[in-house]
Structure 1
Amino acid sequence: MKTESLSARYAFWISAAVVAHTLWTSAAPAMIYPLYAAQWHLSFTLVTVIFAVYPLTVVVTMLLFAGLSDRAGRKYVMLAGLLSSAAGVLMFAAADSLAVLLAGRVMMGIGVGLSAGPSAAALVDYAGQGGSARAGAVTLGAQSVGFAAALLLAGALVTWAPVPTRLSFYVLFALLIVLIVLCLFIPGDRPVGMPSRLLARPDVPVYLRHTFIYAALAVTGAYTHGVLISSVGAQIARSLIGSPSPWINSVALALFPVALGIAGSLARKIEARRSVITGSIVSATGMVSLCISVSEHSLFFFISASLISGAGYAFMTFGGLGLIAREARQSDRGSAMSMLFVFAYLFTGGLAVVLGKMATQLNLAVAVFTGALILIFICAVLIILGLFQLRSTNRLSAADI
């Protein structure tokens, strides 16, 4: 019994590390995009295409392999994802052209597409009975660590180390190899009696669809922050705010995941739908601060936007994941988590391309204002729907008394 407990604890924390890798891999090039743009004379459109290839690849991968971990086991799907991510990171480290960057981003997208849903589901599985709140909080904490590490490491190496476009990727590659080895020691978890056919048509069970729509919109709203932070955040700080130091810019952007981690520990104490409403209010406030920072060229408001938006992301993501973790059956959990991310990545990938095109044809400030207004609209919809659903739930509870 004690051995089983230790194995579950080990698997829980290795799964958390896999979650961390998904955000680290996603944000790894964030501080280096301006260097690529300067060295290879890339337009905003091409820079955002490099970013957008990643979430769009994640979407395709999740659509093809949604529910695979429910049939093959979380361990083996996470391993496959880590191997693909490592290959993509190595391609970035050796990149000498835009084509290699795009290929590397595709491999990263496949890696995260394979591992994001299973790792989130594994945390719920290994958290034990009633551990969905703990799993949600650890998911956010792991995302915070991965995101902050990517920004701070890249910012430091870009500022002070040689070969700034390569070194941070070599470091990440080495860490991924270590994580792959550690993941090998997770106990096998392929379910007994599951269908021999591993691939299945991605689907959300009928009983879960009402909850899923709201949860998917919440996570989509949260991930929209990533377009403005991971895709063009460094360029906003450099071009619109006027901050020339990569290190200062990386610290400012890293406040987003720091706030994410702190808010995540608070979010677990709030009911999931209330968490989404809280996050929507906070996120809308963060977008207002971002717009002020751009119009006034204010580093203070930019830092404020990073902090406030990080907290909003945490509450929205925790609420969305918490709703699925609470209401999905274990046999459907991996597929539901993957489909949740499909909607989020599909929307953010398309949005990144649109905003990049807008920044090239008009200017970056217009693109930022547009992205902020879109997120504020999503937040408004979540607040209205959430309050309506809470009111309906309270009425039903009162009627049962």
Structure 2
Amino acid sequence: MKAVSAAPQSPLAFLAVALAFAINMMGTTLPTAIYRYYQQQYGFTPTVITVIYASYAIGVLGALLLIGNWSDQLGRRRMLLAGLCVSAASALTFVFSDGLALLMLGRLLSGISAGIFTGTATVAVIELAPPAWRGKATFAATASNMLGLGFGPLLSGILVELFPRPMQFPYMVHLALIVIAAIAVFRVPETAAIPARVKLGVQKLSLPAEVRAAFILAALAGFAGFVVVGFFAAVAPQLMRVVLGLHSGIVIGSIVFLLFACSALGQIVQTLIAARWRQATGCIGLVLGLVWVGLCVPERSLGALLLGTVVAGIGQGISFRAGLGEIASAAPAHRRAEVTSSFFVVLYVAISLPVIGLGIAVQFAGIERATLLFAGLTIALVLIALLLLMLGQMNRKPGAAPIGD
């Protein structure tokens, strides 16, 4: 017997959760503009910075795997509040950090909050959408995610340049935003059908039969796109400082934000593309963008980096929204958070593990060679995904519903 929420869907509740989603994800990329101060203060090498980043990856993947489906049992609102509490604990840890151990703990907690939020908030935004806004619900969820990730480096870049205590003040500001988000989430109605007898368990990486075909295609394109996201969040600031001579936190944060803003733009653009070609188009955009990112190294060209950022961001946004929309619509309602969390497991493997390898490559080969290696390997990965997507379309039976419709 399930206790089903009969709470109405309201525009304010929908906007409140979307705002909380963005605020929470903002905290996960806030350190992007602060890493250089950690390097100056503690003498960290690029490898140590990579170890700190790895702590975030462990937190995200651990949360997604262990509690990714708990909102189907405990309710969306409870899990969102739990995610915000962990995010607040992360911010406080950073404020009082005095070395590597607490920085790693802060990033671990930040990863756990992201792991709780990604699947739960995505589903909650979609479920809270008023009927008149239902067609834009998936975009609101994905845009909240990506813009939140983008605002993190932009906010910290501005704060470290204009205010004292660059290793503490950005987290204090984010803590205040978390309080606002928690108040907003506390007031929203519950949308999940909560079982009378709660059964909590580890997230299973299994998929309902009706969603598997869509999931595989979306995961291929999504993985490639989030490798690029990981590069911009963790490594691109060092590229800008060393290769292009940019040292302003505001400028660097703005360029990183540009990628995520263009991802949101790509999520709008994808509606203009025939559904069956959206993910393939996104892959083509990623390839072209990566070519320009690679060219910025030998050419020492800010223009090439900016063009690559715009094109890669749009490509990533197209493939990300198209894939997530198909998965959300194909998944059974009672397993929607589980399936969505499984998709984000794939994405956060992409945003984490390749970047850890790249950080090690920077230590031994230098930022220029490591960036060229990253661009080449990622282009190869995207081309493989594109080939498999095209083969999937060729093997699709006539009359079958195209992906994204």
Shorter-chain TM-score above 0.5: yes
2:278 is the counterpart of 1:275: yes
CA pair 35-329 structure 1, distance change in 2 beyond 3 A: same
* Contact kept? 1:137, 1:267, Cα under 8 Å: no
- Among 229, 232, 238, the alignment partner of 2:241 is 238
1:167 to 143, 166, 169: 169
CA 1:270–1:133: 2 relative to 1, 3 Å: farther
1:374 to 2:387 alignment: no
Q: Over aligned residues, Cα RMSD in angstroms?
A: 2.2
In structure 1, which of residues 217, 223, 227 is the aligned counterpart of residue 220 of structure 2? 217
Amino acid at match of 2:319: M
Q: 5 Å matches for 1:72-151?
A: 72-127=74-129, 133-151=135-153
CA offsets per residue over residues 147-194 of structure 1, 9 Å max, x none? Answer: 332222211122221111211111111001110111111113441546
Partner of 2:154: 152
Query: How many matched pairs?
Result: 395
Residue 260 of structure 1 corresponds to which residue in structure 2? Answer: 263
Instruction: Give the 3 Å change call, closer, same or farther, for CA 52–316 of structure 1 in structure 2.
Output: farther
- Local SS of the residue matching 1:164: coil
Matched, 1:333 2:336: yes
TM-score computed with the length of structure 2 as normaliser: 0.91
Structure 2: distance between partners of 1:146 and 1:201? 25
CA distance in 1, matches of 2:46, 2:54: 12
Q: Which runs of 5+ in 2 are unaligned?
A: 1-5
Residue matched to 1:384: 387
- Verify the 8 A CA contact 1:11 1:126 in the aligned structure 2: yes
Q: Flag the 1:271–1:68 CA change in 2: closer, same or farther, 3 A.
A: farther
Q: Give the counterpart letter for 2:144 in structure 1.
A: A
In 2, the alpha carbon distance for the partners of 1:334 and 1:312 equals 25
Query: Given the alignment, which residue of 196, 204, 208 partners 2:198?
Result: 196
* Aligned residues with identical type, % of pairs: 26
What is aligned with 1:23?
25
Matched residues in 2 for 1:216 and 1:194: separation? 34
Could you give the per-residue CA deviations for residues 32-90 of structure 1, whole angstroms, max 9, x where no partner exists? 11221122111111112212221221111111112111111111111111110111022
Give the match for residue 305 of structure 1: 308
TM-score (norm 1): 0.92
Match for residue 291 of structure 1?
Answer: 294
Q: Against the structure 1 CA distance between its residues 247 and 323, is the aligned structure 2 distance closer, same or farther, given a 3 Å change threshold?
A: same
State the match for 2:3 in structure 1.
Answer: none
1:353 aligns with 2:356: yes
| CA distance, structure 2, for counterparts of residue 133 and residue 225 of structure 1 | 28
| Structure 1 residues 318 and 132: CA distance shift in structure 2, 3 A | farther
Equivalent position SS for 1:242: coil
Go from structure 1 to structure 2 and tell me whether the alpha carbon gap of 1:335 and 1:272 turns closer, same or farther (over 3 Å shift).
farther
Counterparts of 1:397 and 1:361 in 2: how far apart (Å)?
Answer: 50
Q: Residue 367 of structure 1: CA displacement? A: 1.9
Q: Is the 8 A contact 1:30 1:233 kept in 2?
A: no
Distance 1:48 1:110, change over 3 A: same
The answer to which of 385-394 and 334-343 deviates more is 385-394
Report the 3-state secondary structure (helix = DSSP H, G, I; strand = E; otherwise coil) of the residue aligned with 1:78.
Answer: helix
Task: Report the equivalent of 1:205.
Answer: 208
Q: Do the aligned partners of 2:215 and 2:327 also contact (CA within 8 Å) in 1?
A: yes
Report how far residue 139 of structure 1 moved: 2.1
Tell me if structure 2 keeps the 8 A contact 1:14–1:182: yes
Tell whether 2:347 aligns with 1:344.
Answer: yes
Gaps of at least 5 residues in structure 1 are none
| Cα distance in 1 for residues equivalent to 2:331 and 2:380 | 28
Which moves more between the two structures, 343-352 or 90-99? 343-352
Relative distance call for 1:391 and 1:369 in structure 2 (3 A) is: same
Shift in CA distance, 116/272, structure 1 to aligned 2, threshold 3 Å = farther
Q: Does residue 71 of structure 1 match 2:77?
A: no
Aligned equivalents of 1:188, 1:136: Cα separation in 2: 18
